[in-house]
Amino acid sequence: MCGIVGVTADPDQVPNVMPMLVQGLKRLEYRGYDSAGFAFIECGSYNLKVFKNRGKIDEVVNQYMVSNYCAVAGIAHTRWATHGEPNQVNAHPHLDCDSEIAVVHNGIIKNFAELREWLVEKGHQFRSDTDTEVVAHLLEHFNREENDFFTAFKKTLQMIEGAYALAIIYRGEPSRIYFARNVSPLLIGLGIGFNMLSSDIPSMLAYTRKFIVLNDGEYGYIEPYKVYIERDGELVEWRRRVTTITWSLEDAEKGGYPHYMLKEIMEQPRVLYETYTGLVSSNEVEKAAELLLGANKIFITGAGTSYHASLVFMYYSSLFAKEPVIPFIASEYTTYSRLADENTALIVVSQSGETIDSLQALRAFKNRGAKIIAISNVIGSSIPRESDRTIYTRAGPEIGVAATKTFLTQVLALTFLALRLGVDKGIITKSEYRELIERLKKAGEAASISIEKSSRIIERLVMKLKESRNMYILGRELGVPLAYEGALKVKEVSYIHAEAYPAGESKHGPIALVEPGFPVVFLGTPPLENLKEKLQGNVMEMKARGASTIIIGVKGYEDIRGADIVINTGEWSELLAPYAITPPLQLLAYRLAVILGRDPDKPRNLAKTVTVE
């Protein structure tokens, strides 16, 4: 999983594409950041230059003073290692033997080992351990044979199997960038006197608002004034596929906050409102619910945060629609897809729409005839495109690697879906449905009030928790998925080991670890009449072992005995509690990361979009 970008320009319009390459690549850093590299055609000399190394983009740019160069066309790459350790030789771009062809790649070439053997026999000299390098040598091989680079490119594509977004520059055709897409995302950005390629939209937003989302199996090239796309040897008519994006660039930037993560936590009130408005003014939810109604088995899946949103759906579906739903972690799809048939519906939750585990789950269910509903934040991404119906969240681009705002917008979209299913099944009446939807309008307000009420206390709390190596986050019912999500956030960005459990289950093992000072966070969710007394018991059990006890709850939990710190997020019903309980947990994770000197936007070993199984 990596990010790629490419730009080609008419020097009379854009005298130097280097700033576009560097800036574009920096916005892709969330996709991986263990090495970076550039290949470009230098202004004037038309030489092909390559700089690459291990390290974050800024480090590589500074090391080679890349920004001091002038280029008419170039490609660049930020890497998250799959094949071969992160070092200079394994960093992209990869070159052919004569260093005339440079390739950047996101994905995995499955059959690279055989291809490499074949090429080595033919005398090609490999420099790296990567799967990608075979592409450069295949191109070289066929280009020698055919003496036509595009034909060589097509022959190369016929040989490689797997997932790829490729961008290629060839010294013999200095203003052209070749590309191909299969599974891994790739888009073309259309400019005036230039065209560009990238793995996502935000990285191109500073330069253009017009995009073509490439489909699997498409390949071709861009030149400053030309876009040429083919599929299976046939010309693809792309003009009607051009979409204009209205996101502002500011949306994709930090908006004055020190980190994207904080910005994204803080903008939850707004994006929840935007998602709400989008959902009430489209028929996405109705169309998806129709599909669920026709199914006799419903599954829901996702990875990481998206899986936790799936668990919230299970809760609301039981509450409002009395509908059993089977949730599973996307990478475990084999066990569950066996149960699927044409009467099955699968809901696939994925903010990026590109997570390979979720995509594979989708495909396994689809192969058995199941109907698929996608919940995604990225228009035109793979999961929505392969689904029967899609409900879009309207969170705007999320740059922080740890998901924050997309989680709550997923929860909102899934709550709409559960309510619609409830009314369609006759479990709730039409007027109850209308009232509940009306109440959901306050999701953003719940987040906003909770942020206001909790920010200060969280700042104090992190002073207390920063030395801890471990913590528990416990909840009951609706509090359980929210606890899982809170613990994931703390782990991801602060590297403190946080574990979530159903509070009742904590007696069956986890409590053995508790000793004086061990932090235990309890989530006080509604309904109080069912949960408060039980949670009170769990707090006392932990307190008796000397735990440091913290409550993050809705109004009514303030008087819990044995609590050292209580964060009262306001008076919220079951419908709105996720929007109030989640932000303090996100802030806790964020503040812990900052106080411990971690980079919350780019946690070590993680990537925003995981496109390898």
Task: Quote the least distance from Cβ 324 to ligand G6P, whole Å.
Answer: 24
Residue 482 in the binding site for ligand G6P (CB under 6 A): no
Touching ligand G6P, residues 315-334 (CB under 6 A): none
Residue 302, φ and ψ in degrees, nearest 5: 180, 175
- In the residue annotation, 43 being an active-site residue is answered as no
- Choosing from 387, 569, 609, 611, the residue that interacts with ligand G6P (CB under 6 A) is 609
Residue 132 vs 306, nearer CB to ligand G6P = 306
Report the distance separating Cα 172 and Cα 48, nearest Å: 10
Judged by CB under 6 A, which of 352, 409, 450, 582 binds ligand G6P? 352
Is 89 or 612 the residue whose CB approaches ligand G6P more closely? 612
Q: What angle do CA 321, 324, 325 make, to 5 degrees?
A: 105
Q: Scan for tokens 């979409």, then name that residue.
A: 243
Active site residue 52: no
Segment (H or E) for 521: strand 519-524
Contact of 80 with 607, CB cutoff 8 Å: yes
For the CB of residue 307, give the shortest distance to ligand G6P in the complex, in Å: 8
Cα 42 from Cα 588, distance rounded (Å)? 48
Instruction: Kindly state the DSSP code that residue 370 receives in the 8-state scheme.
Output: -
Pick between residue 143 and residue 404 the one whose CB is nearest to ligand G6P. Answer: 404
Q: How far apart are CA 102 and CA 112, in angstroms?
A: 17
Is residue 611 near ligand G6P by the rule CB under 6 A?
A: no
The pair of structure tokens assigned to 431 is: 């007027």
Does 259 contact ligand G6P by CB under 6 A? no
Query: Is residue 409 close enough to count as binding ligand G6P by CB under 6 A?
Result: no
How far apart CA 512 and CA 8 sit, in angstroms, is 61
Q: Which stretch binds ligand G6P (CB under 6 A): 172-180, 245-253, 397-405, 586-594?
A: 397-405
Q: Which amino acid is at 539?
A: V
Query: Residue 156: which of 179, 136, 138 has the closest Cα?
Result: 138
Q: At what angle do helices 430-440 and 405-424 cross, to 10 degrees?
A: 170
Q: Does 381 bind ligand G6P (CB under 6 A)?
A: no
Work out the angle at residue 582's Cα, subtended by the Cα atoms of residues 455 and 333, and round it to the nearest 5 degrees: 150
Q: Is 303 in the site for ligand G6P (CB under 6 A)?
A: yes
Segment near ligand G6P (CB under 6 A), from 93-101, 138-146, 230-238, 298-306?
Answer: 298-306
Q: Give the count of residues interacting with ligand G6P (CB under 6 A).
A: 16
Q: Please tell me whether residue 379 binds ligand G6P under the rule CB under 6 A.
A: no
Give the CA distances from residue 541 to residues 76, 180, 544, in Å, rounded to whole numbers and listed in that order: 56, 59, 5
Burial 176-203 (b: 16+ CB within 10 A, else e): bbbbbbbbbbbbbbbbeebbbbbbbbbb
Q: How many residues does the chain have?
A: 613
Give the whole-angstrom CA distance, residue 58 versus residue 22: 9
**Given candidates 35, 182, 306, 549, which one binds ligand G6P under the rule CB under 6 A?**
306
The answer to whether residue 608 forms part of the interface with ligand G6P (CB under 6 A) is yes
Of residues 355 and 506, the one with the C-beta less far from ligand G6P = 355
Phi then psi dihedrals of residue 404, to 5 deg: -130, -75
Which span sits near ligand G6P by CB under 6 A: 3-11, 153-161, 245-253, 299-307?
Answer: 299-307
The catalytic residue among 26, 489, 602, 608 is 608
Q: How far is the CB of 308 from ligand G6P (least distance, A)?
A: 8
- Please check whether residue 539 is in contact with residue 561, taking contact to mean a CB–CB distance below 8 angstroms: yes
Least spacing, CB of residue 295 vs ligand G6P, in Å: 22
Choose among 337, 390, 392, 391: nearest CA to 366: 337
358 binds ligand G6P (CB under 6 A): yes
- List 291, 293, 595, 606, residue binding ligand G6P (CB under 6 A): 606
Q: Binder to ligand G6P among 298, 401, 471, 473 (CB under 6 A)?
A: 401
Q: How far is the CB of 198 from ligand G6P (least distance, A)?
A: 17
**Minimum gap (Å) between residue 7 Cβ and ligand G6P:** 26
For ligand G6P, the nearest residue by Cβ is 304
CB atoms within 10 A of CB 288: 27
CB of 410 to ligand G6P, least distance (A): 8
Q: How far apart are CA 359 and CA 453, in angstroms?
A: 39
610: contact with ligand G6P by CB under 6 A: yes
Residues with a catalytic annotation lie at: 2, 608
Q: Site residues (CB under 6 A) for ligand G6P?
A: 303-306, 350-352, 355, 358, 401-403, 606, 608-610
